[in-house]
Structure 1
Amino acid sequence: MARRPATPDLPPEDLVEKIVDIDVAAEMEGSFLEYAYSVIYSRALPDARDGLKPVQRRILYQMAEMGLRPERPYVKSARVVGEVMGKLHPHGDAAIYDAMVRLAQAFSLRLPLVDGHGNFGSLDDGPAASRYTEARMAPAALAMTLGLDEDVVDFVPNYDNKLVQPAVLPSAIPNLLVNGASGIAVGMATNMAPHNLVEVVAAARHLVLHPDATLEDLMRFVPGPDLPTGGKIVGLDGVRDAYRTGRGQFRTRATARVENVTPRRKGIVITELPYSVGPEKVIEKIKEGVQSKKLSGIADAVDLTDRQHGLRLVVEVRTGFHPEAVLEQLYRYTPLEDSFSINNVALVDGQPRTLGLRELLQVWVGHRVDVVRRRTEHRLRKRRERLHLVEGLLVAIVDIDEVIQVIRTSDDAETARGRLRSVFDLSHEQAEYILELRLRRLTRFSRLDLEREQAELTAEIAALEALLADERLLRTLVSDEMAEVAATYGTPRRTILLEHAGGASVAGAAGAPASRRGGAPAAPLEIEDTPCWALLSATGLLARTGDETEPSRGDGTSRSRHDVVTSTVRTTARARLGALTSAGRVLAVEVLELPSLPPTDGPPTLSGGLPVGEVVTLADGERVVALVPLAEDAPPIALGTAQGVVKRVAAGDLPANKDAWEVVTLKDGDQVVGAAPARDEDELVLLASDASLLHFTADQVRPQGRAAGGMAGIRLAPGARVVGFAVVRPEDAEPVVVTVAGSSSALAGTQAGSAKVTPFAAYPAKGRATGGVRAHRFLKGEDTLILAAVTATPARGTGAGGQPVPLPEVDQRRDGSGVALGAPLHAVG
């Protein structure tokens, strides 16, 4: 043993240090167990009854003590933290503020318990300092603390034994299941998923009235977690395992949909993220995936989240890729799909336990039954005490003069109290209450009030006694209070539950054989170069079919607003085609940029088509008259102009490295009125405004170079012009000629005119550059054709807004007059 040097002032025996030998292993074991005990019971694990850790419970209790109710003004968060730290929680202010912040975050808790004002953080950023934010109790916190003044829970001393605090809150809300919990203790951890309040209360009420209910019975009310951020839960087997054993795992997915983010490009719009996943983390992972080549088909990813519209992440998909397949990639390589591991560990009777759904509900239901019973006992005791005092007052009022005489003749209060008890047979409490009573209460009206109060107290005491005597009546009251809480604070479910993903996940590269989870083969990432048809409508909409099936012509009828197809081209999904304009230009169009139409049994409907102006750039007054193929093996392109010129130009003569080029040199005032591919055996048809029709075989027009001006097609009368040009193939079934006559002096688009539909076979062929034959006999007031077209049977008419305009029946007379239309006709297809 070591000794200190002796001094002359102290006896040597008092200077000897006493050193105790301690085993290091035993000391470390004991100290570690004390530390572990403190962490488990005082920090990390929630109580299964109120679902709160000690710091959270102290925050809510202190806010209630400070009167920070939802209708009161906010106070500085630093003030709340200071009160909690100084009175109840012997730890740092940072830990207290972090706990209070989480109680206020709507993306962390399904039912926030603190109403925060200011920057309380986001999934990607932390909160502002406590001196900058304000807080008060949220409405749901009132249900957590309601009844603390009615002896419903036990109170324990605080850290310095100067104050008391509740050992548990009354918790009218099943907070542990509704808001979940997470924490890491020593040797154990907890991670509990949030649930929907209405569903949990429904299950709890069923358990209250049916204590022997099975887990399957309860799962009919609670099918799965309900996360604060919404999203989807994919696969419920892990959820069922967690409800049965307290441990399990499930996958969460973001809520996403495919939209047109620009007129020419589709994108994936994400409006809900998995639990605890922030948008910045998702954007970062997408960029990393694109750089590392794990993700394909993504052009850009932007965060458009704001306070008004909420979460909105937009992932722009490159042309040529399936958006659905790109989305499956995102689920695989980014946090848009995440997993959640359930570990339901909580304190039950002071011991950490792993609990399933039924056990969690049993603990909370038992706690609520105990709270309501203790509250009932407290109210019964208070009412009995009050009734005892009221009965004493009534005795005193009956002989008030004698009472006053007794008090006046007593030497002191103690003597007066004793004389009152002996003379009127009162208890100590009744005599004391009479001595402290003001004389103004002892009036006739006070007696009536006291008698009324006595009757009310007697009835209330009888009801409370009956409640305590009947366990089923007590549990019914508990169930009714649960229903009231659910009606007050409940909200609709946010998270969608799916038994499975609903389709195979797509592998990271095009052509991968199967999904990462097995099952059906993966869908191709890139759009295949499959045959299809490109379509142009009368109102200038472009689209393509989903396959090579030729668009159905239907029966000519329509049940709703529609458009007619005026030009079709057989092509492939990854090919280019040309849009031939009235100015004699061909503008290149990528077929992939055209929206794909869903399959239909009737005529194609282009309501989802893309306006021509969004695909190509047109000059003022220029319009697209037809779609033409650009393949080298395609037939020559034939076109007709308003001045009667026709021309054929080989598609192979068009340069492949340009996006726009001229195919005819037009004279001043001339314009192209129609175009289509034309083989030598096909018929070229021109219809003039003076109602003359001329058709001849295409081999009479030799193909010319792009700079050529064409050759004479029809001889026009003075003042006449070509209003229609078409190419008729020998294999076309029963083509018809549609002509609409009207007055040349009328404002364009305002007159309905008269229409005639005649078989094309009724018109004889003549040589090129001749005058043709008459195709329509004008009625009185008519002097021109305002519209003319050659189309397949049945012909369909449409107005300027896409509305259907019925056409007359087929007239076999080629030079007959027309039938009046009900509305102006814009186009025929």
Structure 2
Amino acid sequence: MARTKKPAGGTNLFEFSENVVALPAAEQLDRDYFAYAEQVIQDRAVPSALDGLKPVHRRILWDMWTQRLLPDRPFVKTARVTGDTMALYHPHGNQSIADALVRLAQPFSNLVPLLDFHGNMGSPDFSAAAERYTETRLGKFGVLLLDGIDQGIVPMVANYEGSTQEPVVLPAAFPNLLVNGANGIAVGLSSYLPPHDPREVCAAAKMLIDNPKAMVDELMTVLPGPSFPSPCTITNGDELLDIYRTGQGRVTVRGAWTVEDLGRGKQQLVITSLPYADTMLGSTEKFVGMLADAVDAGDVGGVTSLNDESSDGQVRITIGLATGVAGEQIIPALLKYTNLQVTNKVQMHFLDEHGIVRLYNLRTVLKAWIDHRVRVIVTRSENRLERIAERLHRLAGYLAVLIDIDETIAIVRTSKTRAIARERLCARWEIDESQANAVLDLNLGQLTEDAVIEFQRESEELKKEAARLQALLASPTKLRRQVGIELDEVVPEFDGVALRVTDIVTEAQPRVSKAAMVLDTPATVAIDVNGWAQASRAGTKAKLKLEPLFTFDTSTAANLVVITNAGQLHRTLVASVPTDKPTAAASLFTGLDPAAKVLGWWIDETFPTDLLYVLSDGQIKRTSGDDLVGGDRKGGIATVKCAPGEEVVAVLPFADDTPLLIVTAQGQGIRFLPDDVRPMGRSASGVRGI
């Protein structure tokens, strides 16, 4: 086919100018981004405070409910549920739906899994098998979230294509948000709430039902804090009250370990649990990698071997230790440099019943669920009253015409058509058309005396039930009490859930120096005039780019201190100085200016009590060693103020009774005692010396 040639000169964009609407870019972008943010918050990322679910989780459960994939039914392929959910309710990527589905079934991600699963559901280190290989169905706790939904007790909306209905929220027979926790990252905000023991959550809900004025501190007497699926310890228990009051804060969680004695002075540290994190994948692999990096960097010493022996979801990481090194000795280093201890940021941002994001706290989260259950009970009761009224109306028609069964039968038999029979029944027994139709639908077996008695009994029972429901609807107190009664019926279902395995303690976070984290072994350190430093085994010779200016024997746990011609003091751990491995070149001293010259070096234990600085312009300065603490940050610390173009030419330790002599290049000199020089702070300039 021949191509159509474009008109000469190309397309004239200005021909369409009458269809272009000029808008300020800032206003349009603001409006578009707001619409995007609203969509992400309400339809993707933020869980509901009522049922604790994001839309994708709710749609998965609803799809399985409509397919009647109940706990007593056979498993079906996960791919079937994923595809059906995507086709009808959640028009997004099938992999994201599959991942969300698997997470609902994982016992290491949820205290109370909502789905039953058949096949490889993954582990803290490995993802689940592909959806075509696995099978699923609703679990008993998933059913509890959906129970009664067929009775029209929650609001429904059309799905994205308008072909069917889906629930806005699930009935949620228990506070799933607190039990399983939730997380989400939206636009401009995030949500995170750790899981809690279901029995404790129900006890707290009952307390608030019985005493609507109960405050957070009272609720915490039965719900002391989070409970994670894996054994761990919350170390900042004293901060939980403030977190539960404000809905924001940080929870520090620590894993578990044991120390095994191998004999002959050797121990082995075994990591048996890592802290629960919402993103569980790769937790043990991450730990091994972080520890290996810390060992290579010299931050953790005494480690001779590292093996990940985890299997079947059970964490076991063995850390071999050098002879004489205790397992507990390196724990502070592991807490600092690995994910053996993590801090989770709690943000109780959730959607309320109107789909608006609010910041909740422990009390308001429980209250939101209680209020939701009250609305569910009210709607269910009102729907039931409507059905009772319809049934009573029908029973009234039955009882009216069955007063004289023979006459009723005669009217029907002598009527030529159903319409005539209906009209004659209405006229004779003073009933309406709907009642007459119901009578005409009765079969002969329902026209006995026993049937009449049964209709009367049913009518009385329905009237009593209607009276009870009307009394329930008229009393807010009774409605709340009914929430508690129904919650009590759910609590026994949690008997099979593991008891709390999370300890809550209050511990000051240790400030551990690097020296306390490394194995104290002899070492030889060499430094050249440009600050290149290298450590080697004691008694061996380091290979530097220049001739060493200083070479000395020390230990890996000592702090090395140098002062440069710029007056900068640098301090670092000997264990952090690069070693003399054949493939490793000596590295520049940490944070040192490449143009700087090293004038003096010390070990912390031998650092002088007083230092005398001599500057190139003849100024001198005396500084106490106690004022020179620090220097381990990048760039070091300034110990003397030099004028532009000037530098330090000498740094000398001295004692009060030792006279000093300063000589210039021209042969002039001055001799004085240290007592003649007043000590000055490290940020001060010097005084004229010569």
With the length of structure 2 as denominator, give the TM-score of the two structures. Answer: 0.69
Amino acid in the other structure paired with 1:509: A
In structure 1, the partner of 2:347 is 343
Change (3 A) 1:257 1:27: same
505, 508, 511: which one pairs with 1:498?
Answer: 505
In structure 2, the partner of 1:790 is none
480, 489, 493: which one pairs with 2:485?
Answer: 480
Amino acid in the other structure paired with 2:415: S
Matches within 5 A, 1:169-188: 169-188=170-189
Instruction: Give the C-alpha shift of residue 40 in structure 1.
Output: 0.9
Instruction: Give the C-alpha shift of residue 525 in structure 1.
Output: 6.3
How many Å separate the matches in 1 of 2:16 and 2:338? 69
| Residues 104 and 116 in structure 1, CA contact (< 8 A), matched pair in contact too | yes
| Residues 112 and 138 in structure 1, CA contact (< 8 A), matched pair in contact too | yes
Amino acid in the other structure paired with 1:379: R
| Residues 52 and 175 in structure 2, CA contact (< 8 A), matched pair in contact too | yes
Instruction: Give the C-alpha shift of residue 505 in structure 1.
Output: 6.0
How many Å separate the matches in 2 of 1:494 and 1:56? 26
392, 402, 411: which one pairs with 1:387?
Answer: 392
How many Å separate the matches in 1 of 2:143 and 2:520? 56
Amino acid in the other structure paired with 2:485: D
Match of 2:19, SS state, is coil
Instruction: Give the C-alpha shift of residue 145 in structure 1.
Output: 0.4
Instruction: Give the C-alpha shift of residue 338 in structure 1.
Output: 0.7
In structure 1, the partner of 2:372 is 367
Instruction: Give the C-alpha shift of residue 359 in structure 1.
Output: 1.3
Instruction: Give the C-alpha shift of residue 218 in structure 1.
Output: 1.4
> Are 1:312 and 2:316 counterparts?
yes
How many Å separate the matches in 1 of 2:104 and 2:46? 16
CA offsets, 1:587-616, max 9 Å, x none? xxxxxxxxxxxxxxxxxxxxxxxxxxxxxx
In structure 2, the partner of 1:19 is 19
Instruction: Give the C-alpha shift of residue 74 in structure 1.
Output: 0.8
Amino acid in the other structure paired with 1:500: E
Matches within 5 A, 1:408-427: 408-427=413-432
| Residues 370 and 480 in structure 2, CA contact (< 8 A), matched pair in contact too | no
How many Å separate the matches in 1 of 2:176 and 2:231? 18
In structure 1, the partner of 2:219 is 218
| Residues 266 and 324 in structure 2, CA contact (< 8 A), matched pair in contact too | no
In structure 2, the partner of 1:53 is 54
In structure 2, the partner of 1:443 is 448
Amino acid in the other structure paired with 1:155: M
Amino acid in the other structure paired with 1:205: K
| Residues 274 and 337 in structure 1, CA contact (< 8 A), matched pair in contact too | yes
How many Å separate the matches in 2 of 1:136 and 1:505? 49
CA offsets, 1:687-718, max 9 Å, x none? xxxxxxxxxxxxxxxxxxxxxxxxxxxxxxxx
Query: Which ranges of structure 1 fall in alignment gaps of 5 or more residues?
Result: 6-14, 513-523, 529-829
In structure 2, the partner of 1:129 is 130
| Residues 320 and 526 in structure 1, CA contact (< 8 A), matched pair in contact too | no
CA offsets, 1:640-669, max 9 Å, x none? xxxxxxxxxxxxxxxxxxxxxxxxxxxxxx
Instruction: Give the C-alpha shift of residue 342 in structure 1.
Output: 0.5
How many Å separate the matches in 1 of 2:454 and 2:310? 62
> Does 443-452 or 341-350 show the bigger shift?
443-452
Match of 2:137, SS state, is strand
Instruction: Give the C-alpha shift of residue 70 in structure 1.
Output: 1.3
How many Å separate the matches in 1 of 2:385 and 2:366? 28
Instruction: Give the C-alpha shift of residue 504 in structure 1.
Output: 4.4
> Are 1:266 and 2:267 counterparts?
yes
How many Å separate the matches in 1 of 2:159 and 2:308? 47
Change (3 A) 1:262 1:444: farther
| Residues 322 and 526 in structure 1, CA contact (< 8 A), matched pair in contact too | no
Matches within 5 A, 1:374-773: 374-489=379-494, 491=497, 492-500=499-507, 504=510, 506-510=512-516
How many Å separate the matches in 2 of 1:40 and 1:34? 10
Instruction: Give the C-alpha shift of residue 261 in structure 1.
Output: 5.4
In structure 2, the partner of 1:743 is none
| Residues 242 and 249 in structure 1, CA contact (< 8 A), matched pair in contact too | yes
How many Å separate the matches in 2 of 1:410 and 1:290? 99
How many Å separate the matches in 1 of 2:198 and 2:296? 43
How many Å separate the matches in 2 of 1:415 and 1:297? 101
Match of 1:417, SS state, is helix
Instruction: Give the C-alpha shift of residue 167 in structure 1.
Output: 1.0
How many Å separate the matches in 2 of 1:444 and 1:341? 71
Instruction: Give the C-alpha shift of residue 526 in structure 1.
Output: 6.7
Pick the structure with more helix per residue: 2
Instruction: Give the C-alpha shift of residue 262 in structure 1.
Output: 6.8
| Residues 242 and 343 in structure 1, CA contact (< 8 A), matched pair in contact too | no
Amino acid in the other structure paired with 2:474: A
Amino acid in the other structure paired with 2:503: I
| Residues 58 and 165 in structure 1, CA contact (< 8 A), matched pair in contact too | yes
In structure 2, the partner of 1:98 is 99
Instruction: Give the C-alpha shift of residue 214 in structure 1.
Output: 1.4
| Residues 180 and 191 in structure 1, CA contact (< 8 A), matched pair in contact too | yes
Give runs of ≥4 in structure 1 deviating > 6 Å: 524-528
> Does 339-348 or 233-242 show the bigger shift?
233-242
In structure 2, the partner of 1:563 is none
In structure 2, the partner of 1:822 is none
> Does 32-41 or 468-477 show the bigger shift?
468-477
In structure 2, the partner of 1:792 is none
How many Å separate the matches in 1 of 2:146 and 2:116? 15
Which of these two proteins has the greater Rg computed from alpha carbons? 1
How many Å separate the matches in 1 of 2:173 and 2:405? 47
Match of 2:515, SS state, is coil
How many Å separate the matches in 2 of 1:17 and 1:426? 72
Match of 1:509, SS state, is helix
In structure 2, the partner of 1:804 is none
Amino acid in the other structure paired with 1:499: T
How many Å separate the matches in 1 of 2:414 and 2:432? 20
CA offsets, 1:361-389, max 9 Å, x none? 11111111111222222223222322322
Q: How large is the RMSD of aligned CA atoms in angstroms?
A: 2.5
Amino acid in the other structure paired with 1:368: R
Amino acid in the other structure paired with 2:366: L
Amino acid in the other structure paired with 1:440: G
Instruction: Give the C-alpha shift of residue 478 in structure 1.
Output: 0.9
Change (3 A) 1:270 1:292: same
Instruction: Give the C-alpha shift of residue 66 in structure 1.
Output: 0.8
| Residues 325 and 525 in structure 1, CA contact (< 8 A), matched pair in contact too | no
Change (3 A) 1:95 1:410: farther
Instruction: Give the C-alpha shift of residue 18 in structure 1.
Output: 4.5
How many Å separate the matches in 2 of 1:264 and 1:419? 105
In structure 1, the partner of 2:589 is none
Change (3 A) 1:168 1:192: same
In structure 1, the partner of 2:329 is 325
The structure, 1 or 2, with the larger RCO (C-alpha pairs under 8 Å, 6+ apart) is 2
How many Å separate the matches in 1 of 2:257 and 2:485? 39
Number of residue pairs matched?
502
How many Å separate the matches in 1 of 2:323 and 2:436? 93
In structure 1, the partner of 2:629 is none
Instruction: Give the C-alpha shift of residue 506 in structure 1.
Output: 4.7
With the length of structure 1 as denominator, give the TM-score of the two structures. Answer: 0.58
